[in-house]
Structure 1
């Protein structure tokens, strides 16, 4: 049986009332317009209301946030305020501390209300969840790459002390560190903005991240782990 085309062009009052009721029950928000859900995955508002508070996750997150933020803040202030430490190695250490400090402030802190109260902005707002992932993953890659630069810097200082100052000048170190941040940011922005549906709230850890079960997220996972973790760690290990 085929639908009557006149009913489609000229719907009845009952059909209009049913449509209005459907819109009221399932409103379209700006999240759906800016970040449409994946055709094969669950909708982006991936939690139905607040979660249960998890005080174990809250305690561990609070501890690592406190240690990370306070410890790296002390490193930044110490190296920045001591003239003898503002050398090539000191610049790398400051950059590494800044990356860890950013992760503690903008990534771990936003999950604290989630685990304490069971509700927070990153649960209900996908743009905020996406922003937290962009900031943290960029800092994650920049931090490990900075660790590799520190190892290379120390290796050249020990093995080639006469050529060290001509190779690792302060301007070159600054250019390398800025390039690391730009490279990490470009990779993270390029992927997350082109495939925003792969960024989801993880109810197990009360934070946002790549959906492990989404195949669209696998290429970025490989790239960030190889370029932002495995290669820097291999360089740091070889130079140690």
Structure 2
């Protein structure tokens, strides 16, 4: 049968029954070819989100990245400009800000993938996407280990102040920060080097992250979750629990001491004034120690807020990794995850007593009013005046 007859049979289901077997087989073959060609022309998308959802997430990430970069840069510059902020605890605060800053620098690459209408990486090479994905995960891991180091620092300062100076020397601080960054890098780099997971362009989420399509992607996700979340979280919770119990005992003892002093003050007056002078000196010393203790306690409470913010932002994503058939929602939880990187500067600016003053002067461009200006700030101001 001719080609025209075959076409007629394909397009008309009411053809006469007198069509031979060879004729009926041709339409079946043509239909198969047509379907295959259609599938090849419009392949099934692997995307788990619609394009409008991807655009919304990309806009949110670009906004988070902008706030992140500006805020954390200001926190780092505040320590650079003011000697008063150069405390041992703030070494970890700066390290935390560096980690959050790296997160902000990595997010725009994912926005590029999300905004691309296709299902493949839009550029000729995936190298920028690979580096951005690896940087994002390393910085997130480093953030949590920095928060664990801050918790231990506050615990030792409040509970063992006499050993604090000998333990937190410049050398030990440098080693501590280097070790925590080494651990964060090792957790995220060693498994891919051993063939467990990898980084690059994720075609399902259109982001620069770990590859969900890798044969051992789930194993890599478990390694991430177990090594960079539970261990630091246990350190953080344990440290702040001990701090809370210690502070509660401290204030109970203070109330008892004040009650004893008040009771002794209402009794008979001693014939010797030396006891009164001694008591006044003791009360003054206790008052000064109390103010210093309250200041350290306030700083600890504010730093604890950064821990709470991190836990609230990170926990949903980490828990979701263990729930099956929820890959579609991981990207949305990832947005909540990255929100943490831009929250900390707001906590410092609004609550931390020392950072608050310096950051306010910086926002008002009153650098000459910054307390205890550093040599770097003095040199910068001198250059500006000369210009």
TM-score under structure 1 normalisation? 0.69
Aligned pairs, number? 192
Q: Report what 1:95 is aligned to.
A: 95
Q: Please show how residues 114-153 of structure 1 align to structure 2 within 5 Å.
A: 114-118=113-117, 122=121, 124=123, 125-153=125-153
Q: Report what 2:82 is aligned to.
A: 82
Matched, 1:179 2:151: no
- CA pair 113-130 structure 1, distance change in 2 beyond 3 A: closer
Q: Report what 1:216 is aligned to.
A: 216
Q: Report what 1:42 is aligned to.
A: none
Q: Which moved more, 1:82-91 or 1:224-233?
A: 224-233
Quick one: distance in 2 between partners of 1:113 and 1:56? 13
Quick one: distance in 2 between partners of 1:81 and 1:120? 46
Quick one: distance in 2 between partners of 1:52 and 1:78? 40
Q: Report what 2:15 is aligned to.
A: none
Q: Which of 1 and 2 has greater Rg? A: 2
- CA shift for structure 1 position 209: 2.3
Quick one: distance in 2 between partners of 1:142 and 1:226? 14
Secondary structure, in 3 states, of the residue corresponding to 2:166? helix
Q: CA contact under 8 A between 1:113 and 1:120: conserved in structure 2? A: no
Q: CA contact under 8 A between 2:119 and 2:203: conserved in structure 1? A: no
Quick one: distance in 2 between partners of 1:224 and 1:74? 30
Quick one: distance in 1 between partners of 2:213 and 2:219? 12
- CA pair 114-209 structure 1, distance change in 2 beyond 3 A: closer
Q: CA contact under 8 A between 2:133 and 2:200: conserved in structure 1? A: no
- CA pair 151-123 structure 1, distance change in 2 beyond 3 A: farther
1:33-76 CA distances to partner (integer Å, 9 max, x unpaired)? Answer: xxxxxxxxxxxxx989xx95633112211221122111111111
Q: Please show how residues 40-119 of structure 1 align to structure 2 within 5 Å.
A: 52=51, 54-105=54-105, 107-118=106-117
Q: Report what 1:191 is aligned to.
A: 191
TM-score under structure 2 normalisation? 0.45
RMSD across aligned C-alpha pairs, in angstroms? 2.8
Quick one: distance in 2 between partners of 1:204 and 1:79? 41
Quick one: distance in 1 between partners of 2:55 and 2:215? 32
Quick one: distance in 2 between partners of 1:153 and 1:78? 21
Q: CA contact under 8 A between 1:151 and 1:236: conserved in structure 2? A: yes
Runs of 5+ unmatched residues, structure 2: 1-44, 241-387
- CA shift for structure 1 position 194: 3.4
Quick one: distance in 2 between partners of 1:196 and 1:130? 15
